[in-house]
Structure 1
Amino acid sequence: MFKAIFYKEWIKTRWYLLLAVATTLGFAGYSMLRISRVVDLKGAEHVWEVMLSRDAIFIDLLQYIPLLVGTLLAVVQFVPEMQRKCLKLTLHLPYSQLQMVGAMLLYGLLVLSLCFAANFFLMGFYLQGVMAPELEQHILLTAAPWYLAGIAAYLLVSWICLEPTWKRRIINLVMSVLLLRIFFLSVTPEAYNQFLPWLLIYTLLTASLSWLSVSRFKIGKQD
């Protein structure tokens, strides 16, 4: 069952995923090129000095990219599902409805995580060649909440898309914006270090919200 659902979701999202990977790697690569340019012009010591004295991390362009990518993945994956009434057919298959919805969300989480992992691999591969491990960790830990925000955005927008009534969608949207604001409360590098494990748990718990929308769909709630 999981293979069939994963294949269906892949067919639906494959072109968007290629675009998402290219876009995120493009922004991550451009950020690394900015660092490379400064290193070439003024030396690695200048980069280290700026990072230590001014809290610069040189990857500010990436801040909202994961959020956008996660949001659009949910839209691409679930809006057609609702518009074409495909979800109704899926829920009538002779399998656990909770498992089927869970499989759809798991697919999204896996492909999104792979996309974001590729970003971290690219940045880590480059940074380890020009910076001390402490400064490399400084940059990657600062970026971690942004990528968690992308995963949370995917789960929250999935919750909104799966909701069968517009009135409740608007309420869910307002709540989602407030929840996502938590990931961007501070612009200080590594401000979320102590909170990262809890932020990860908080992000994963948002997956349960989609089941609330599916439950409302099952009992016939509609505009």
Structure 2
Amino acid sequence: MNAIFYKEWIKTRWYLLLALLVTLGFAGYSMLRINRVASMKGVEHVWEVMLARDTVFVDLLEFIPLLVGILLALVQFVPEMHHKCLKLTLHLPYPQLRMINLMLLYGLVVLLICFAANYLLMTVYMQGVLAPELYSRILLTVLPWYLAGIAAYLLISWICLEPTWKRRVLNLVISVLLLRIFFLAPAPEAYNAFLPWLAIYTLLTASLSWLSIARFKVGKQD
């Protein structure tokens, strides 16, 4: 496992550093927006705007986790397919399904670390400015966006691992439709009742990559 994680780390380390800096930058800027409003008009005005206008001040973050997940999958798996490394990897004396699962697990772990850093930054700042009910409202509102980033990583991995272009196009269409679910309701906390199911739905997308590997193993190639 350590060898696989190290191999994936070598491929993705610079992208991960960039992704961490970019996501923290957007999260930090969103916190500065709250700080600016609070400084100019008072914290009470922030509370009033959040409650009366359904404003959460973090709308800039909406598609950032999605893009981070997509790009991580591309950085991690496109070289594997382009340089025919996957074929060699699957012929190593190691269970094939377990190997793919470990590669995906690596991606999930680093994404969770990146997204957790975002959450930590926002939580630490907002605890000093907003009441718990208000900052939890923001954190719950952005949670589906971060789940979308994880789902995007798993779905794009599925597409990258698919050995034929015709099926990749089909998988892409399916992925777009599946990801659309995370952005159907723009209102704050719209997904609260659905969050446990959304998390399960996100994790289940990991199994789709197994279909691509099964097709690869039986010789389905362009």
Give runs of aligned pairs for residues 24-39 of structure 1, distance below 5 A: 24-39=23-38
> In structure 2, what is the Cα distance between the partners aligned to 1:158 and 1:173?
11
Give runs of aligned pairs for residues 1-223 of structure 1, distance below 5 A: 2-223=1-222
> In structure 1, what is the Cα distance between the partners aligned to 2:193 and 2:49?
24
Q: Which amino acid aligns with 1:45?
A: E
> In structure 1, what is the Cα distance between the partners aligned to 2:111 and 2:86?
21
Tell me by how many angstroms 1:5 deviates.
Answer: 0.3
Query: What secondary structure does 2:187 align onto?
Result: coil
Query: What secondary structure does 1:131 align onto?
Result: coil
Runs of 4+, deviation exceeding 4 Å: none
Tell me by how many angstroms 1:152 deviates.
Answer: 0.1
Q: Which amino acid aligns with 2:168?
A: R
Tell me by how many angstroms 1:88 deviates.
Answer: 0.6
Matched length: 222
> In structure 2, what is the Cα distance between the partners aligned to 1:39 and 1:194?
30
Tell me by how many angstroms 1:60 deviates.
Answer: 0.2
Q: Which amino acid aligns with 1:73?
A: L
Tell me by how many angstroms 1:87 deviates.
Answer: 0.6
> In structure 2, what is the Cα distance between the partners aligned to 1:174 and 1:116?
26
Structure 1: segments with no counterpart, 5+ residues = none
> In structure 2, what is the Cα distance between the partners aligned to 1:186 and 1:99?
36
> In structure 2, what is the Cα distance between the partners aligned to 1:99 and 1:3?
13
- Listed one character per residue, the Cα deviations across residues 63-97 of structure 1 (whole Å, up to 9, x for unaligned) are 00000000000000000000011111110111110
> In structure 1, what is the Cα distance between the partners aligned to 2:101 and 2:214?
13
TM-score by length of 2: 1.00
- Listed one character per residue, the Cα deviations across residues 120-168 of structure 1 (whole Å, up to 9, x for unaligned) are 0000000000000000100000000000000000000000000000000
Structure 2: segments with no counterpart, 5+ residues = none
> In structure 2, what is the Cα distance between the partners aligned to 1:21 and 1:149?
17
Tell me by how many angstroms 1:215 deviates.
Answer: 0.7
Tell me by how many angstroms 1:177 deviates.
Answer: 0.1
Aligned-CA RMSD value: 0.3
Tell me by how many angstroms 1:6 deviates.
Answer: 0.1
Tell me by how many angstroms 1:22 deviates.
Answer: 0.3
Query: What secondary structure does 2:105 align onto?
Result: helix
> In structure 1, what is the Cα distance between the partners aligned to 2:119 and 2:11?
26
Query: What secondary structure does 2:39 align onto?
Result: helix
Tell me by how many angstroms 1:30 deviates.
Answer: 0.3
Tell me by how many angstroms 1:20 deviates.
Answer: 0.2
